[in-house]
A and B are shown apart, each in its own frame.
Chain A
Amino acid sequence: MASRNITVSESSRPVLPRHAKLRFDETRQRWVILAPERVLAPDDIAVEILQLCDGARDVAAIIDVLAAKYTADRAEIGTDVLSMLQDLADKGFLTEAREKTP
């Protein structure tokens, strides 16, 4: 799998892999990530970040969006975003969008 052992940086364009699905659980009224043999319960901030991970936007753009929205210090937000995404990537719930190779 090309997605193994990725290092998330500001130039990464993260996206959930095919097997990880972000979904709103109507019964429990909360967001969940469905993955093989696991159901993860991301908190509100994680959900907001993950909704921005569309494979097109890079991490720098995600940080910009959040820093603008919360009028917060970009460096501080950046640290939090990168660490959360790296944590997800290490667990195999985040991959990097890549150019289609012929």
Chain B
Amino acid sequence: MSVTPDGSAMAVDPADGIAVLGSRGSVAESFGIPLAVLLEVTHRCPLQCPYCSNPVELERGGAELTTDEWKRVLTELAAIGVLQVHFSGGEPTARKDLVELVRHASDVGLYTNLITSAVLLTRERLAALADAGLCHVQISFQGNEPLGADRVGGFAGGHAKKLDVARWTRELDLPLTVNAVMHRQNLHQLPDIIDMAVALDADRLEVANVQYYGWALKNRAALMPTLRQIEDCTAIVEAAQQRLKGVLAIDYVVPDYYALRPKKCMGGWGRQFFNISPSGKVLPCHAAETITGLAFDSVRSGASIAEIWRNSEALNRYRGTGWMQEPCASCAFKEIDFGGCRCQAFALAGAAAATDPACSLSPLHERIFKTAEAEAAEGGDRFVYRNFAGGTAET
């Protein structure tokens, strides 16, 4: 699955009279309980996307929380003030009890989103999910045509199935978000992907450039776009946002290797978002387990979720600004971007407390930029597919 690094908590869209919670100064930014929580109910998935945002070390099916454990989690989340849950994975529909979990979430008053690859869904099961109270469906697409898209997902017939499920979603009057993960090998399809989202009657399109941790980092040379592609991509998105105002909302995530300023990843570590892994670990983001040496607390520990959110040593480690080193510590932007992404700092600088090399103030920034340019120009196109065996090279 794929989650946008900055949009997953709550997008900011200030307006007269209709302010947006989650923006500056709200409850959500003072380490209050987040408004939305991502539930990775399983790491099992029939797709093998080379940029999967799950950790390279996937959690096995046997370690997953049981139906009753997830229900307890849902009840607890609603009770402490969480308003929305995203059922994600892996592929959440691989859980046989998904309808039951969605119904329970609705019963306790949670707004439910399904983040799915769609390939396991039947029309009957989707209708059952809608009956259970599902509020919104997000379907990932790997491209705009079957051949290329099915190659990226490593799943024959996947693209055609996604188109079916997208149609059923709208027939059932559920709102649809199309999530398109973009990289060097499919960026040329962007105009067609935008047209596809309109034709599918989607409400939202996420144009999410790959973020390079975990599986995507393994596949960086095969995925990294050229600077020229990114410039074109930005222009295409901006034009489409204007042209499709009121028809299709487009959220845009740029690849930060080419940026000057780092992203405010997850709105800041442990600040306004958490996710729960298949086995119940409470994480500040879906990639956090790529940072070694951090022990994340589990909902199985006996502690309440609110206690874990407040007291978890791993969550407190990079909260706020107290942990920062130079150049972050004295930086005027430190409360704007919180030093960027800890996972990226760990992956590229070798230390999670380092400045995210996406920042132009990082001593590594120049090198990262050049690496990206070189890989985009010379990297091969073959993928390492995501699986429980630690990855399989494309033949």
Residues of A within 8 A of B (CB): 1, 4-5, 17-19, 21, 23, 25-28, 32-34, 36-43, 45-46, 84, 87-88, 90-92
Contact = CB atoms under 8 A, between A and B. Distances in A.
Given A21-B111, A37-B7, A40-B19, 9 more contacts: A17-B175, A19-B136, A32-B83, A34-B84, A34-B135, A36-B175, A37-B10, A84-B18, A87-B17
Contacts of B249: 92
Instruction: Tell me what chain B mostly uses at the interface: helix, strand, loop, or mixed.
Output: loop
B238 interface: no
Nearest to A88: B18
B201 interface: yes
Given A1-B203, A36-B203, A23 B21 contact: no
Nearest to B16: A87
B27 A37 contact: no
Contact of A36 (B18, B22, B136): B136
A32 B27 CA distance: 13
B21 A41 contact: yes
The 3 residue pairs across chains A and B that have the minimum distance between CB atoms:
A27-B81, A36-B136, A34-B111
B236 interface: no
Given A19-B136, A25-B81, A37-B177, A42 B18 contact: yes
Q: Name the residue in A4, A23, A39, A46 with the highest tally of chain B Cβ atoms < 10 Å from its Cβ.
A: A39
A25 B295 CA distance: 32
Interface string B1-26: 00000011011010111111110001
Contacts of B80: 27
B195 interface: no
A36 B113 contact: yes
Contacts of B245: 90
Contacts of A5: 246-247
B35 interface: yes
Contacts of A21: 111, 135
